[in-house]
Each structure stands twice: as structure tokens, then as C-alpha cells.
A and B are shown apart, each in its own frame.
Chain A
Amino acid sequence: MHSFGYRANALLTFAVTILALMCAMASFSDNLNHPSPSSSVQVLNVNWFQKQPNGNDEVSLTLNISADLQSLFTWNTKQVFVFLAAEYETPKNSLNQISLWDGIIASKEHAKFWTHTSNKYRFIDQGSNLRGKEFNLTLHWHVMPKTGKMFADKLVMSGYRLPKEYR
């Protein structure tokens, strides 16, 4: 500590070490938050449902998505990425996941929302398995913190069924 440079160096090193420690504690504090998110999705309409020339089924839905993800936000949350996936089983694949809609929630104020939309990304099956298919709509989210590790979780909503005929 005898010279200006030595003191400046020691201070900077110690300050950054403590900063890292504070960030680690902030990240740890996220574990104290027990979120209780809720959501519900209504399929308002099947706009069209057809077989593509290449043999894959495609369906267009009108959805009403509402969710309350405010409890996911803590002081260490930067943003939340949320997407809605259709999940179903076919003889070939035990789990098919198709992302229908997604969004980025930047703040707690915007975390309680509802939206009325047709599916943002195309709902196409690998094959022709969608007629009369029962499927789940699952709301997945990834919580991106300011420091520390990302969290991901989901909410499964079941009991949806596609029509038996093309339209």
C-alpha cells in the first residue's frame, strides 16, 4: 500500500471481488421466491385445417391466451421469455412440440396479460396425424436474471382436441 498505483490496484481488485460476491448473493436470493404463475388458453376457432400437398397436416387456430406471470419477477429478473407449445403424441414420436406463439415480457407490469391471436408460427405435423388428435397446450417460460442462472418451467393445459375432419 506504499504507492498510489498499488493502492488503486488493491482497491479495484477488492471492489470487483465483492461485486462478484454481491451478484452471487443476488442470484441466490432468487431461490427464496416461490412463484405461482397461472394461465389459461381458449381455442376460439379452427380457421382452417387441411392436408398439405406433401402429406403433412396443417391447422390454423385462433387462440385467446391469458396468463399471470407476475410472481416470476424478482429484483434480479431481467426479462421472461414465454412461448406456447402444442404437445401431442403420434405413433412415430412420443412427444411432438410445436411452438404456436411466443413473447418477451420485459417487466412485471406487463407480466399479467391476455392476447387474442391466431397462431404466430405454423402448426404443421410431421405426417398426417392431426385429425381428431387430442393435444396439450403448454406454456413454457424462461426467466432471464440480471445475474446468475436461467430458470425454465412450464404449465401444462390439457384437454384440447382437433376436429375429426379437414375444413
Chain B
Amino acid sequence: MDWQGQKLAEQLMQILLLAFAVVSFGTGYVLGSFQMMMLIYAGGVVLTTLVTVPNWPFFNRHPLKWLDPSEAEKHPKPQQQQAVSSKKKPAKK
């Protein structure tokens, strides 16, 4: 999942869950049925899980364009030595 996909997934999750919460509470209150509220919300949570948790293709529409390795070798980083000694790998997300 790329950066924009992650942002999209989080926003989708929050919006979908909140929307289902509002709809289920309203329906439950109007129908006077607590069970109906729970069923609608549970369905909403399952649907949201299916939409946002798996790594769908539409979360990967903005791949990062890394430099070609040969191109990077031609322009070595000045602090490369220091970076290796500290052994901190940049977190790949």
C-alpha cells in the first residue's frame, strides 16, 4: 500500500464507521429496536473491514518512483559512512 493509499484507507475507515454508527443509531431509535442497531453496525464494521483492511489495487495507484540503483551509485550520499555506522535503517513504509 502506498502513501496515498494509506491515507485513503484511514479516511475511508473513519468515514464508513461513523456513517454506519449514525445510520444504525437512527434506525434503532426510530424502530425502537436495540438489536437492529447492533445488527446494522456489525454489518457496517464487516463491510468496512472488507473495504479498508485488505491491500486492494486502488490503494496502490501512486507508487513511489525510486531512482535507478545505477543512478544512485553515481551520486553517493555525503553522510553515507555515518549512516552505516549508526546502523539505522530508514523505515520503509
A residues sitting closer than 8 Å to B (CB atoms) are: 1-2, 4, 7-8, 10-11, 14-15, 18-19, 21-22, 25-26, 29, 74-76, 146
Contacts and interface: CB of A to CB of B under 8 A. Distances in A.
A22 B13 contact: no
Q: Specify the main secondary structure of chain B where it touches its partner.
A: helix
Contact of B10 (A1, A75, A76): A1
Contact of A15 (B10, B48, B54): B48
A7 B7 CA distance: 11
Contacts, number: 60
Contact of B34 (A1, A15, A21, A75): A75
Contacts of A29: 29
Contacts of B9: 1, 7
B55 A22 contact: no
A26 B48 contact: no
Interface string B28-49: 1101111001000100010011
B57 to A, nearest CB: 15
A19 B20 CA distance: 11
Contact of B93 (A2, A4, A14, A26): A2
A1 B14 CA distance: 12
